[in-house]
């Protein structure tokens, strides 16, 4: 059964001034919208959050050429329409699995307006690996520090403001199962996509020699593939010997990746299995 945040937050469709207003399914996918996504380790509550925001209005299909399910939906928050894509859960983005490749390609090539990174508040350290990797690719990030009820139950307290300062992006404590904190989460997403806040993501500091090598590579990448965004991240992956990125360059597929994430087979369904 899907938990609909609109109901949980006591919101009604007739309220059109309330800043906490989430209207599930309110945004038709063809309308002008912000593209956002939920990423994170498996079992952190991504689908619960996705379901709560979109309600029953979802489309599911497979990612192109993959047997991994893709779910997307629409909703309205405040005056903005959002299209949201539920990414498969991964521990890393270094493309060791199909799921990782899908999540990485989506964040890298679809360039979503915001990535909600859902972290498990009971296992922050483990979850930081993926979070830091995502911060290397994009600065459009808001962290949902989810499962806060579980953390409280286990006596874990987290300095979420301190974590936010360290990561350089908003960190909002949430309980996706009950809707707690989701209004604040969406307010942070809205502030980010509307340009009311700027993030300053924590990134790896390279030594002088490496930095020069990266800059050289970035220059070459931009020369050959001027449309490629995130060329710095791609340069880092090349230096790290990422075979999938290497191969994509050899075959010229790196440019096709832009198109690859788009055309998928969609069919409407009532519910997205979590
Ligand atoms: N206690 C608690 N359980 C949650 C919360 N969010 C999600 N869950 C549960 O955690 C499990 C995994 O959630 P799911 O959304 O499928 O995680 P996903 O793998 O990241 O998509 C499900 O049983 C959810 O009901 C939360 O904030 N608190
Ligand atoms: Mg899921």
Residue-wise pLDDT for 227-250, tens only, equals: 777 888 888 888 888 887 777 777
Name the DSSP letter for residue 188. Answer: H
What does the alpha-carbon distance between residue 170 and residue 192 come to, in Å, rounded to a whole number? 9
pLDDT in the model for residue 77: 93
Distance 148 CA to ligand 1 centre (A): 11
Block residue for tokens 């989460």: 185
**SS3 call for 270:** coil
Residue 125's Cβ-count burial label (10 Å; 0-12, 13-18, 19+) is exposed
pLDDT at 68 over 60: yes
pLDDT in the model for residue 18: 34
In angstroms, how far is CA 73 from the centroid of its own chain? Answer: 14
Name the residue with higher pLDDT: 26 or 237: 237
The arithmetic mean of pLDDT across residues 129-133, rounded, is 95
Which tokens is 109 given?
């090539």
pLDDT in the model for residue 264: 35
Q: Specify the ligand 1 atom closest to the Cα of 150.
A: 1
Percent of the residues in the chain that have a pLDDT greater than 90, as a whole number: 54
Q: Is the CB of 92 under 6 A from ligand 1?
A: no
The arithmetic mean of pLDDT across residues 213-232, rounded, is 85
- Closest ligand to the CA of 272: 2
**How do the domains of the chain map onto residue ranges?**
5-202, 208-258
Tell me the longest C-alpha to C-alpha distance in the chain. 59
Residues making up the chain, counted from first to last: 274
Q: Which residues lie below 8 Å from residue 55, measured CB to CB, with a gap of 6+?
A: 2, 4, 6, 24, 25, 73, 75
Q: Specify the ligand 1 atom closest to the Cα of 48.
A: 15
What does the alpha-carbon distance between residue 223 and residue 215 come to, in Å, rounded to a whole number? 12
Q: Is the CB of 150 under 6 A from ligand 1?
A: yes
Distance 254 CA to ligand 2 centre (A): 27
Name the residue with higher pLDDT: 163 or 3: 163
Pocket test for ligand 1, best of 2, 43, 123, 146 (most atoms within 8 A of CB): 43
pTM of the model: 0.83
Contact (Cβ atoms closer than 8 angstroms) between residue 239 and residue 214:
yes
pLDDT in the model for residue 233: 85
Return the CATH fold of 5-202.
Rossmann fold (3.40.50)
pLDDT at 14 over 70: no
- Closest CA to ligand 1's atom 25: 177
- Work out whether strand 69-77 and strand 58-62 pair parallel, antiparallel, or are unpaired: antiparallel
Question: 243-251 and 253-260 are packed helices; what angle lies between their axes, rounded to 10 degrees?
Answer: 100
Distance 120 CA to ligand 1 centre (A): 9
Among 209, 201, 213, residue whose Cα is nearest residue 171: 201
Name the DSSP letter for residue 2. Answer: P
Percent of the residues in the chain that have a pLDDT greater than 70, as a whole number: 81
Block residue for tokens 């209207």: 23
- Closest ligand to the CA of 53: 1
């Amino acid at each position: 059964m899907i938990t609909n945040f609109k109901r949980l937050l006591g919101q009604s469709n007739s309220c059109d001034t309330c800043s906490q207003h989430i209207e599930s399914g309110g945004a038709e996918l063809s309308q002008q919208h912000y593209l956002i996504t939920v990423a994170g380790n498996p079992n952190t509550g991504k689908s619960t959050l996705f379901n709560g925001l979109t309600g029953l209005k979802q489309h599911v299909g497979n990612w192109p050429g993959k047997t991994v399910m893709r779910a997307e939906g629409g909703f309205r928050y405040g005056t903005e329409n959002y299209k949201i894509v539920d990414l498969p859960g991964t521990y890393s983005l270094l493309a060791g699995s199909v799921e990782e490749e899908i999540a990485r390609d989506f964040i890298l090539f679809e360039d979503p307006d915001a990535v909600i990174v859902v972290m498990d508040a009971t296992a922050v350290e483990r979850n930081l690996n993926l979070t830091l990797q995502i911060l290397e690719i994009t600065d459009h990030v808001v962290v949902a520090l989810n499962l806060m009820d579980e953390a409280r139950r286990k006596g874990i307290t987290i300095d979420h403001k301190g974590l936010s300062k360290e990561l350089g992006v908003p960190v909002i404590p949430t309980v996706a199962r009950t809707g707690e904190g989701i209004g604040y989460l969406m307010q942070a997403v809205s502030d980010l996509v509307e340009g009311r806040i700027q993030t300053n993501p924590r990134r790896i500091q390279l030594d002088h020699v490496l930095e020069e090598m990266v800059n050289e590579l970035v220059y070459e990448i931009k020369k050959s593939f001027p449309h490629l965004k995130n060329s710095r991240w791609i340069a880092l992956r090349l230096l790290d010997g990422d075979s999938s990125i290497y191969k994509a360059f050899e075959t010229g597929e790196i440019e096709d990746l832009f198109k690859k994430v788009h055309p998928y087979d969609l069919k409407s369904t009532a519910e997205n299995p979590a």
